[in-house]
Amino acid sequence: MDTRTQSDLMLAIVVVVLGAAGTYLLLPHRHGVAKPRTMHIAGAILAGLGLLLFDMFWRPPGPFLTSLFFYAFSLAAVAGGLLMITTRNPIYSALWFASVVLSTSGLFLLSGAQFLAAGTVIVYAGAIIVTFLFVIMLAQMEGRATYDRAARSPFAATMSCFVLFWGLLYSLFLVKPPASVATGPNPAPPAAAMADASPNATRAPLTRTQDLGPGSVALARDLASRPTAQLNDAQGRPKPHVAGLGETLYTDHLVSVELAGTLLFVALIGAVAIATPKRPIRPGNREAAAPSPTVAPNA
Amino acid sequence: MAPPDSFTFDVLMSYLLVGAALMVLGMLGFLARRNLIVMFLSTEMMIQGTALTLVGFGRYHGNWTGQVFTIVILTVAACEASIALALILILFHRCSSLDVTLWQDIREPGQPPALVSLEESEAEPVEAFAGPESYPHLTPAGIEPAHPTLPWTERRD
C-alpha cells in the first residue's frame, strides 16, 4: 500500500464523515431546539465541503474542455442527487432528478456512448414528465405533509449508507491498473509492475477481459472477446457508433434483446391490470362479491 | 491489450467514484424518505449510478458489453417505472396519502411497527410562508354576520 493510496484513504474518511454529517443535517427531521434553517445551512456547508474534497479524487480525463465538462457533469450529478433526496417538495425532487439524468447523459457522451445518452434522455424525460403529473395530481401539500417533513430513522440510514460508501471507496482505491498497459497511452512504470508481483497482495490488479482465466467467467470472456463485441474493428479504427452497437446487440446478445422485449410486454400488461379502476365492493352488492367467495369482502 | 484511446485507468476510476456516489445517495433516499414518489426516484438514481459504472467499464475494456448491459438496465427501469407508478396510483386511491408508513402492515414478521405518533413528533416544524399564512390569528369579536347561502358560483351581486 503506497503513500498515494494511504492519503486517498485518509481523504476518503474525511469525505465520508463530512458527507454523512451534512446529509444527516439536510434530511428532513426535527433538529432539537435549533432552528431548521440554521441546521440546513450548516448541513449544506458540510456537504458542499465533502463534495469539493470528493472531486479531488477525480482525474481530469483529457484536454481542458473535456475535463471542464467532466467536472461540471459529475458535480451536477452528485449535487443534484444529494438535493433530490433532501428536498421536501416532491416537485423539486423530480427537478433535481432531471438534473441527475441530464448530467449522467453528459457523462455517457464523454465516455463515447452517444446512443445511450440519447436513450437515457428520451426514456427518463417521459418518466419525469409522468412523475410531474403524479406529483401535481397526488401531492397537494407542497412538501408540508408530515411524511415529507419526517425522514424514517435518518441517523441509522445515513450511517449505513455512508459506511457502504466508505467500503466502496476503500475497495476502489485498492484496485490498481493492470500491469499489461505498458503499450497504452498511460504506461505503468516498470517499477510499479515489479511491485505488483511482490507478495504484498493487498492491491489486486484490475484484470482485462481478454486476460481472464478459464472457469466460471469463461462465457462472459468469450462473449466480450468476439470481434463483433469490440469497440474497434480489426484495423484498430473505431466502428461507427450505432452500427457497431446494433451489430453486437443482434449477434451476441439476441436472446437478451428478445427477453427485454418480452419483459416490456409483461410489464405493460401488469401495469394495465394494476391500474385499471375496479368497482368497489359494497356490502349490499351481491353480484360484485359473488365471483370470489373465498376472498374476504373488503367492505 | 491497450485501452482504445485516452480512456485511461484514472478516468475509469473517476467514473466508478461518481457511480458509487450516485448509488449510495439513491440508497439513502430509498431508506430514509417516506414519500412514495421520492422513493421511486431514488431507485432510478441507483440505476443511474450502476449504468455509469457499466459504461465506464465497457469503454475501458474496449468492448460494447457495458453499453448492451446498460440498454437492458434501461428496459428494466422503464418496466419498473410503469409498474411503480401504477402501484403508487392504486396505493394513493386506497389511503389518500403517499406515506409509505401507512403500508407497514405488510412488513416482515417480527419487525416492530413504526409509531405514527412518534414520527409525527419527530417531523420538522413547518415554517409559515410570508403572507397570509404568517398573519397573526386574531380573536373574532362580536356577533358572526349572516353568511350568504348561495354558493359563490351562483351569486350575481
Report pLDDT digits (tens) over A85-116: 999 888 899 999 999 999 999 999 998 899 99
Residues in chain A closer than 8 A to B79 (CB atoms): 263-264, 266-267
For A170, how many CA atoms within 13 A lie in the half-sphere containing its CB? Answer: 11
Crossing angle for the helix pair A241-251 and B65-95, nearest 10 degrees?
80
Name the stretches of chain B with pLDDT < 50. 1-4
Give dist(CA A174, CA A1) in Å, integer.
8
Please report, as a single letter, which amino acid is at residue B106.
I
- Is residue A111 within 8 Å of B5, Cβ to Cβ? no
Residues in chain A closer than 8 A to B20 (CB atoms): 165, 168-169, 172
A18, A95, A131, A250, best to mutate vs chain B, most B CBs in 10 Å = A131
Summarize pLDDT for B61-98 with one digit per residue, the tens: 888 889 999 999 999 999 999 999 899 988 888 888 88
CATH 1.20.120 holds for A3-173:
yes
Selection from A290, A289, A269 nearest residue B86 by Cα: A269
B35 in a structural domain: yes
- Is residue B123 within 8 Å of B110, Cβ to Cβ? no
A151-180 mean pLDDT:
88
- Residue B69 belongs to what H/E stretch? helix B65-95
Does the beta-carbon distance from A185 to B79 stay under 8 Å? no
A54, A97, A183, best to mutate vs chain B, most B CBs in 10 Å = A97
Give dist(CA A87, CA A91) in Å, integer.
9
- The answer, yes or no, to whether ipTM is higher than 0.90 is no
B144 in a structural domain: no
Give dist(CA B21, CA B53) in Å, integer.
11
- Cell numbers representing residue A207 in the block: 484484470
Does the beta-carbon distance from A146 to B123 stay under 8 Å? yes
B76 in a structural domain: yes
B51 in a structural domain: yes
The domain limits of chain A are: 3-173, 209-277
- Cell numbers representing residue A164 in the block: 457502504
Q: What is the pLDDT of residue B105?
A: 86
Does the beta-carbon distance from A248 to B64 stay under 8 Å? yes
Distance from CA of A214 to the nearest CA of B (A): 18
A82-86 mean pLDDT:
94
User: Domain range holding B31?
Assistant: 9-97
B47 in a structural domain: yes
Angle at B135 between CA B134 and CA B140, to 5 degrees: 135
Give dist(CA A168, CA B24) in Å, integer.
9
B131 in a structural domain: no
Domain count across chain B = 1
Comparison of pLDDT for A48 and A150, the residue scoring more: A48
B109 in a structural domain: no
Give dist(CA A26, CA A162) in Å, integer.
14
Where residue B73 sits, what CATH number does that domain have? 1.10.287.3510
Q: What is the pLDDT of residue A30?
A: 85
- Cell numbers representing residue A230 in the block: 469490440
